[in-house]
Structure 1
Amino acid sequence: MPHHGSHRPGAGVQGDPVFPRATSRVVPDPSRFFAPGLLAAPLPTNAFFQNFVLKDGDMPEYIHPYSIRSPGGGALDVCYPSRSHSPSSVTQTFVADLTVSDAAAAAGTGSAQRHVVSAFDDLSVTLDVSQSLRAHLVRGCPYVTVTVTANATGPIDISFASVHAFVELSSCQCHHGSSGTKWRLRMDSGQTFLLYASAPIRLAQATPTQLSAPAFAGAIRVAYLPDASMEPVLDRYSRCFPTAGHATMNPNDRPFCVDYAWHKEGHGELLMLAHPLHLRLLALAAAADENRAVRVLDGFRYRSIDGDMVGVVGCSWALRADPVPPTWHSTRGVRADGVAEVVAALRADVGALAPAAVTTTSSYFYGKAVARAARLAVIAEEVGCADVVPAVREFLAATVTPWLDGSFQGNGFLYDATWGGLVTMQGLTDSGADFGFGIYNDHHYHLGYFLYAIAVLARLDPSWGRQYAPQAYAMVADFMTVSCDKSGGSFFTRLRMFDLWTLHSWAGGLAAIPDGRNQESTSEAVNAYYSAALVGLTYGDARLASLGATLAALEMLAAQTWWHVRDGEGMYEEDFSGSNRVVGVLWANKRDSALWFAPAEWKECRLGIQLLPLLPISEALFPDVAFVRDLVEWTLPALARDGVGEWWKGFVYALQGLYDTEAALAKIRALTAHDNGNSLTNLLWWLHSWARGSVVGDGDGFGFAASCCWYRH
């Protein structure tokens, strides 16, 4: 089903955003911190450096392996964060271990100013801390690099300070540098930083906590020294520094792959750091005969909240994930002796559909309601109950269309040109409405549910699909645009929610929070990219289908790496990993057992929010049955608590069904209520498709299995 190319995300310059334009009263002014040349194109609303451009811009951000803060006055704070941990959380603590300053700006005698973001990309951000001091903050770089530019009168004075006292200040001979280009800074905290300069720099101790460096111009690099054995490695690679980095996806030619490339200056090879998921994907690419120019330095390690980071030498990396093709139906098919039970529930659930019964105006809960109904049509196809499909189609047409044509009463989608994205009518004046959708929270969650319903309805009713393709593609583009025209031709920012360095999404939007970005529900993020892939399949858009499948696969790997907690694995400290089987909210600087909406002891909510909505792709999200059993057994005692919602129990039993189907079936049959995005039909479909025995409905239907090589075309 072809569409005009301007509505295709990732196809280059975006077409009209389709939804009516509106002026938000709650979003901040981006011109306070972004350089004027960056304001023409839509700006990120969920970037790893977001704290630098919100409120006063002085909250730290974790740019692995350092926390960085720009407090103003021409200064940049560098912290190698310590960790505190307990059974309920793991937290990184910021202190200003080392501060680099433009001395004149810091003293108030120069051109002191608020910092400005002068450039950014997937892997880096460039901060102009003063007119003479520029910080190249590149993710995964073991050094923090600043360049110092002479002013009209010549080189400028630099100062270095710390909250700790300097107990050793020594000039060292670096094997490839001249005298005065390497210094060792040891503090009374026991920490040692190494300082490298592109030209001789004269350091003198002005006070126990402050050093002066007069008349310098050039590049300065500082690196924390975790272990003395790592110093020769830091020496060797100190002269080559990255200034920018870009992540590339080519879903047509290289599905399930991401490629990194850094721009660098100086001499020699580039040394970077890889987190545990990077290492896994680097190894898969190496097995495919990629990464031949990359060397992993296993003994060179920095601590991080995301696990040990390991040195990698090479200015470009190839990352490859195992393919996870999206399917409309269960991969196993529904067991023949379970079909009757699924059909009975299906007829009852379809019979209860009524547009008037959807009374919410919340974009999130409304999206869940229409996606729930769309699941009924897909299940009906799988179990051969086609006679109920017209009723579902009519329900979807009546409920989804008003959100696309603007006739829905009480809410709707609008376009905000300030930051370049969709907002809701309620979110124009209330930053808390629709869970903060108006300040760019949770866009993939809300829109993912709508896109699932749109994909199903467009498949059932091609003429409807053709009519509302522009709106469908605008919703996809809001959070899945890949190519952006920096000259101002794009309407949506690049991959609003998905972080191409951490390889998962962040859900928090334009909110400055000391702990940085956060995400609670990985499974709803998976749903967003899976649903976008289904939109691609429905419309015959192989590129979109491949892009959605790739992002879903990466999101699932990240969930398994950081949200799913395995005791003894070593990712987190023993008190936390021994007490938890799933993270509640994952922050850039924190792992929390609590949820936004529930305390830590409500374990059924923690499990459920990492599983819902229940879909065919959920099989790939939880592939380790041994872990699933551990997770369920950790959760089950919480169900004895007074007041546990029946709807949350359903998700616990759904996972229990992966290893004990009959027990789970008995419990699900006894439930009296279900999550508003779930149904008895969906739960029975799930359990009967996992049960062993002869199956029906394992063909393609209007699905995918018959063309599993679509991403090659």
Structure 2
Amino acid sequence: MNSRSLQPFTFPETRSTVLPDPSSFFSPDLLSSPLPTNSFFQNFVLKNGDQPEYIHPYLIKSSLSSLSISYPSLFSNTSFTYQVFNPDLTISVFNNPNPNQTHIISSFDDLSVTLDIQPNLRFFLVRGCPFLTCQILKSIKLYISTIHAILDFASNSSKTKFTINLNNGQKWILYSSSPINLTHEVSSLKSDDFCGIIRIAILPNSDSGFESVLDRFSSCYPVSGKAVFSEPFCVEYKWEKKGWGDLLMLANPLHINLLDDCEIRVLDEFKFNSIDGELVGVVGDSWVLKTDPVSITWYSINGVKQESIPQIIDALVQDVQGLNSNSIETTSSYFFGKLVARAARLALIAEEICYLDVIPKIKKYLKDTIEPWLNGTFGSNGFWYEKTWGGIITKQGSVDTGADFGFGVYNDHHFHIGYFLYGIAVLAKIDPVWGRKYRPHAYSLMADFMTLSRGGNSNSNIKYPRLRCFDLWKLHSWASGLTEFADGRNQESTSEAVNSYYSAALLGLAYGDTHLVAVGSLLTAMEIHASQTWWHIKANDALYAADFTRENRVMGVLWANKRDSGLWFAPADWRECRLGINVLPLLPITEVLFSDVEYVKQLVNWTLPVLGREGVGEGWKGFVYALEGVYESEIALEKIRTLTGHDDGNSLTNLLWWIFSRDDCETGSGKHCWFGHYCC
């Protein structure tokens, strides 16, 4: 993302005492480039590398000299839903002379990872592939075991297709690139010497047409996949394939909604189960995903009602008077960033209502709070660069995994930096001279999680991995960094993820960087689509199990392999926290994120009853009332006026700005909102 004309800035380098060593799992030629820290295969390179990852539609687990595949079953109740891993089939080398040899990541890209169990097995783990593909690099005897019993085993006449019926009701099909002799016992298969390709797929149902689809596409296999930003508001998937014939892949529900390519064919009846919704067959080695444009704006979308401006000014004057950088007690990069962004909101609201008297004080506050983090003079904390994984960490985080919510082990980077970028973008807008001086610093912060370039030995200037947090297959971010979890990556606050890419786009506006605006806008739009698909739980949704849907209107923590109603910091029944953490910070882009007014009503009505619980924070109430203001502005305004406090990133000024910039739904205008939702 770095501009060609911009001299890159590198924060002072430091060594971390808490980061894991990547050399155990990455091939040596990958270690010289920045490495992924929030990727879909992160568990494969942490600790023992033996926790599973969800490579749709299979859970994959590697343990020393073997790899296990599971077509997971789904467990669900009112509190959570998750996929159950069972090693349905485990692939290894018979009488392996190196049983303690662990796996190595030999290559990776946006949509795939290649995992080698040395020296003979190479697995092309491509996301959305209905087959597990293994290349046997040297003639060996293959060993395939199962925790189940094999009830029936048969092959075709050429010994290139085998059906395996297990006593748990599963039917698996194994294809080979050349004839292979397989013998079976109660719970295992063993081959004669074999070198070539094998592909394994579950048959999710007994429909004979389903098996014929697998047969037809079994000879073409993907080995890698990249996402290309070819046009505005478009992402194109391109797979490298081998073998012969057409490529069959699986699309998740969001893919299906965004597909915009007449060159591909959707097989509507070819479906696999998934925690993310049904995965549908798509034929074609290149897909185009296209979203409606999202307009990135500094100010409210519809403007503030003129008659309300005096009320906003009164609150604005009070909030600005309270700005004092010397009174800030927190040293946390997260909470400090929220204070920076809160002040920046006041500046933009002042501009929008043309009350500029407060701008000088806000500008001084922003300079006083931002510059120490950019100059390395903050004292007890600050931003530093570490080159082992390639990224910015904090001084506190370099020695403590729990400091700054794990920022030092690459947790929540887009959240923290997003707040700082918002403040920097606003300050660069209102003080262009300051903006020019600190542009290299701003771009380095942004590049930590917004770099588009791919690392490699040919480009030693790349200091950060490609799109650190954003998952180009799920089309949303992960926040959990270099921490091993049995359920994979996770993200709690989807709204803070939206804020990070929105803020990067605003930075592009401040600097006249149309490319940054375009990429930031695209990622903002995709994050919003994903939020509305997987985080926002509507009453009539069928995506999740009925019992989970019935009791929940918004996700707590979304994991790669789990959906949880609880939060990291609060139990599930604190509904106001679940709503609030998926709303904050309150911005113009929030209107796009919550453009489905019917859903907003469901969410608010689900939350309001818990506000009478003892100990509910005033700040959380503010976000509930803000959403209520989408459709009941007068009632929400009365409630907002009763608040005795606000979230540390919010203010009375911001809440009044929000309420007084709502559309008047009583007009019956029937306006179409962003992304085609119909409101009023």
Report the TM-score range of the alignment, normalised by the length of the smaller protein.
over 0.9
- Picking from 257, 271, 282, the partner of 2:234 is 257
- Picking from 338, 341, 354, the partner of 1:371 is 341
| Alignment match, 2:591 | 619
Q: Is the 8 A contact 1:19 1:413 kept in 2?
A: yes
Q: Render the CA deviation track for 1:537-572: whole Å, top value 9, x for unaligned.
A: 000100001111110000000000000001232100
Gaps of 5+ in 1: 8-14, 174-178, 286-290, 695-713
Query: Does 15-24 or 25-34 show the bigger shift?
Result: 15-24
Q: Give how far 1:463 is off.
A: 1.1
| 3-state SS of 2:50 partner | coil
Q: Give how far 1:111 is off.
A: 6.9
- Picking from 194, 201, 214, the partner of 1:216 is 194
Quick one: distance in 2 between partners of 1:474 and 1:191? 50
- Residue type of the alignment partner of 2:351: E
- Picking from 210, 224, 227, the partner of 1:247 is 227
- Picking from 134, 148, 173, the partner of 1:146 is 134
| Alignment match, 2:379 | 409
- Residue type of the alignment partner of 2:33: A
| 3-state SS of 1:268 partner | coil
- Picking from 101, 105, 109, the partner of 1:121 is 109
Quick one: distance in 1 between partners of 2:197 and 2:665? 67
Quick one: distance in 2 between partners of 1:214 and 1:393? 74
Q: Is the 8 A contact 2:64 2:99 kept in 1?
A: no
Equivalent residues, number:
662
| Alignment match, 2:17 | 25
Q: Render the CA deviation track for 1:512-552: whole Å, top value 9, x for unaligned.
A: 11000000000000000000000000001000011111100
- Picking from 218, 228, 248, the partner of 1:238 is 218
Alignment map for 1:634-645 (pairs within 5 Å) = 634-645=606-617
| Alignment match, 1:448 | 418
Across the aligned residues of Structure 1 and Structure 2, the Cα RMSD in angstroms comes to 1.4
Query: Does 366-375 or 227-236 show the bigger shift?
Result: 227-236
Quick one: distance in 1 between partners of 2:289 and 2:218? 25
Q: Is the 8 A contact 1:335 1:693 kept in 2?
A: no
Q: Render the CA deviation track for 1:598-637: whole Å, top value 9, x for unaligned.
A: 0000000000000000000000001110000000000001
| Alignment match, 1:157 | 141
| Alignment match, 2:252 | 275
Q: Is the 8 A contact 2:631 2:665 kept in 1?
A: no
Q: Render the CA deviation track for 1:258-301: whole Å, top value 9, x for unaligned.
A: 0000001101000000000000100xx2xxxxx22200000000
Query: Does 32-41 or 482-491 show the bigger shift?
Result: 482-491
Q: Is the 8 A contact 1:335 1:688 kept in 2?
A: yes
- Residue type of the alignment partner of 1:450: F
| Alignment match, 1:5 | 4
Quick one: distance in 2 between partners of 1:17 and 1:521? 29
Q: Render the CA deviation track for 1:74-129: whole Å, top value 9, x for unaligned.
A: x1100000110000000111110011111132xxx247511000000000000001
| Alignment match, 1:294 | 264
- Picking from 76, 86, 89, the partner of 1:98 is 89
| 3-state SS of 1:145 partner | strand
Quick one: distance in 1 between partners of 2:181 and 2:304? 74
Quick one: distance in 2 between partners of 1:171 and 1:56? 37
Quick one: distance in 2 between partners of 1:561 and 1:347? 40
TM-score normalized with structure 2 length? 0.96
| 3-state SS of 1:22 partner | coil
| Alignment match, 2:631 | 659
| 3-state SS of 1:538 partner | helix
1:316 aligns with 2:307: no
- Residue type of the alignment partner of 2:177: S
- Residue type of the alignment partner of 1:334: V
Quick one: distance in 1 between partners of 2:285 and 2:257? 18
| Alignment match, 1:41 | 33
Q: Give how far 1:16 is off.
A: 4.3
| Alignment match, 1:89 | 80
- Residue type of the alignment partner of 1:22: T
Alignment map for 1:342-361 (pairs within 5 Å) = 342-361=312-331
Alignment map for 1:256-655 (pairs within 5 Å) = 256-282=233-259, 285=260, 291-487=261-457, 488-655=460-627
| Alignment match, 1:703 | none
Q: Is the 8 A contact 1:299 1:310 kept in 2?
A: yes
Q: Give how far 1:130 is off.
A: 2.2
- Residue type of the alignment partner of 2:183: A
Q: Is the 8 A contact 2:455 2:466 kept in 1?
A: no
Quick one: distance in 2 between partners of 1:461 and 1:448? 20
Quick one: distance in 2 between partners of 1:132 and 1:139? 22
- Residue type of the alignment partner of 2:4: G
Q: Give how far 1:477 is off.
A: 0.3
| Alignment match, 2:152 | 168
- Residue type of the alignment partner of 1:473: Y
1:195 aligns with 2:183: no
Query: Does 606-615 or 335-344 show the bigger shift?
Result: 335-344
Quick one: distance in 1 between partners of 2:27 and 2:453? 21
Quick one: distance in 1 between partners of 2:227 and 2:9? 25
1:225 aligns with 2:203: yes
TM-score normalized with structure 1 length? 0.92
| 3-state SS of 1:272 partner | strand
Quick one: distance in 2 between partners of 1:548 and 1:491? 19
| 3-state SS of 1:119 partner | strand
Q: Give how far 1:337 is off.
A: 1.7
Quick one: distance in 1 between partners of 2:483 and 2:336? 24
Q: 1:111 to 1:630 in 2, by over 3 A?
A: closer
- Residue type of the alignment partner of 1:240: C
Gaps of 5+ in 2: 667-680
Quick one: distance in 2 between partners of 1:4 and 1:315? 32
Quick one: distance in 2 between partners of 1:110 and 1:610? 48
Q: Give how far 1:691 is off.
A: 4.6
- Residue type of the alignment partner of 1:664: A
